[in-house]
Amino acid sequence: MSIHAWFKRKKKAKEAAYVRERLDIPGNLWVKCYKCSEAIFASDLETNLKVCPKCGYHFKLTAGERIKQLVDNNSFKEIDANIRSTDFLNFNDSKSYAKRIEATILKSHLKDAIVIGPAKIDGVNCALAVMDFSFMGGSVGSVVGEKVARLIELAVEKKCPAIIFSASGGMRMQEGIMSLMQMAKTSAALGRLRENGLPYISVCTDPTTGGTSASFAMLGDINIAEPGALICFAGPRVIEQTIRQKLPPGFQRSEYLLEHGMVDMVCERKKLKATLGTILKWFNER
């Protein structure tokens, strides 16, 4: 198969199933941009923070990649890494939830869809949570909810700002109502943070949808969005089915949310660290 045919097939698969844009396929030297179709040398893409050098398309990052790009050298110390999801409803669709968790842990080398811990950004201490879309679409179940709550409690304990990077398709249906309750739990925790006079910065990356946006992702003192990210409550397909009309171009993308007053800024990835640093210092200093 030619590399172009391969890309074509991959693009089709993406459109069909909304699969994750992974770049770490062994031997895959060239990557085609999902937006402008430019062929990019994989290592160039890497040095460009996984942003297309031609059109500025922001590829998705794993939690590990995000942390590496963002925090001061080795300053991130993961906590509560040993919390795992469990199939307490014996949920079975095409596969049991138990098997799904197991397979995803093996494939992603993550325990669940979020990593949390203290970190330093531009020399300022903060409590940092980073979601990872590659773990079951970044869906929020009991583990993600618990870790977000603990991260916020860490911020309260350390008297430092909390930063959460969302990358999530919404609540994890395999945990039924318990996933919905994570919206209540995380939002309540953010209320506490606020009561303690501590700042919260929410960074919405592609995608931030459903219950995730209807809880912790929209509650920042400052909400930041990466360019072009899908950020919404109801997904475009659901809306199209409900209202039976085509949606306007750019609907529910970061720039649209900025225009409608839902985020403070759309920040390019290459400026993100500096922007966060400036904001953190503003909160920290007189």
Residue ranges that bind another protein, judged by CB under 8 A: 80, 82-86, 88-89, 91-94, 141-143, 145-146, 149, 171, 173-185, 187-192, 194-195, 210-211, 213-219, 231-234, 238-239, 242-243, 247-248, 251-252, 260-262
Which of Zn ion, another protein, none lies near 57, with the C-beta cut-off 5 to 8 A by kind? Zn ion
Distance CA 229, CA 250 (A): 10
Residue 130, interface with Zn ion (CB under 5 A)?
Answer: no
Distance CA 28, CA 11 (A): 15
Q: How many residues bind Zn ion (CB under 5 A)?
A: 8
109 DSSP 8-state letter? S
Stretch in the footprint of Zn ion (CB under 5 A) among 4-12, 46-54, 223-231, 247-255: 46-54
* Of the candidates 183, 35, 13, the residue with the CA atom closest to the CA atom of residue 25: 13
Q: Which amino acid is at 231?
A: I
Listing DSSP states for 201-268 in one string gives EEEEEEEEETTTTTTGGG--SEEEE-TT-BEESS-HHHHHHHH-SPPPTTTTBHHHHHHTTS-SEE--
- Return the number of the residue (125 or 202) whose C-beta is nearest another protein: 202
Helix (H) or strand (E) holding 57: none
* Of the candidates 185, 276, 173, 274, the residue with the CA atom closest to the CA atom of residue 224: 276
Name the one residue in this structure whose structure tokens are 């330093």: 120
Tell me how far, at minimum, the Cβ of 7 lies from Zn ion, in Å: 13
Which of another protein, Zn ion, none lies near 188, with the C-beta cut-off 5 to 8 A by kind? another protein
- Return the number of the residue (55 or 238) whose C-beta is nearest another protein: 238
Among 25, 39, 55, 238, binds Zn ion (CB under 5 A): 55
Name the one residue in this structure whose structure tokens are 């396929």: 25
Residue 274, interface with Zn ion (CB under 5 A)?
Answer: no
- Return the number of the residue (8 or 35) whose C-beta is nearest Zn ion: 35
Tell me how far, at minimum, the Cβ of 8 lies from another protein, in Å: 24
- Return the number of the residue (270 or 281) whose C-beta is nearest Zn ion: 270
Residue 35, interface with Zn ion (CB under 5 A)?
Answer: yes
Residue 54, interface with Zn ion (CB under 5 A)?
Answer: yes
Which of another protein, Zn ion, none lies near 131, with the C-beta cut-off 5 to 8 A by kind? none
Which of Zn ion, another protein, none lies near 171, with the C-beta cut-off 5 to 8 A by kind? another protein
- Return the number of the residue (33 or 219) whose C-beta is nearest Zn ion: 33
Residue 57, interface with Zn ion (CB under 5 A)?
Answer: yes
- Return the number of the residue (57 or 165) whose C-beta is nearest Zn ion: 57
Which of Zn ion, another protein, none lies near 52, with the C-beta cut-off 5 to 8 A by kind? Zn ion
Q: Which two tokens stand for residue 169?
A: 């398709």
Q: What ranges in 116-175 are assigned the alpha helix state H?
A: 142-158
Instruction: Provide long-range contacts, Cβ within 8 A and 24+ apart, for 192-197.
Output: 192/152, 192/153, 192/156, 193/152, 193/155, 193/156, 193/162, 196/156, 196/159
Contacts with Zn ion, residue ranges (CB under 5 A)? 33, 35-36, 38, 52, 54-55, 57
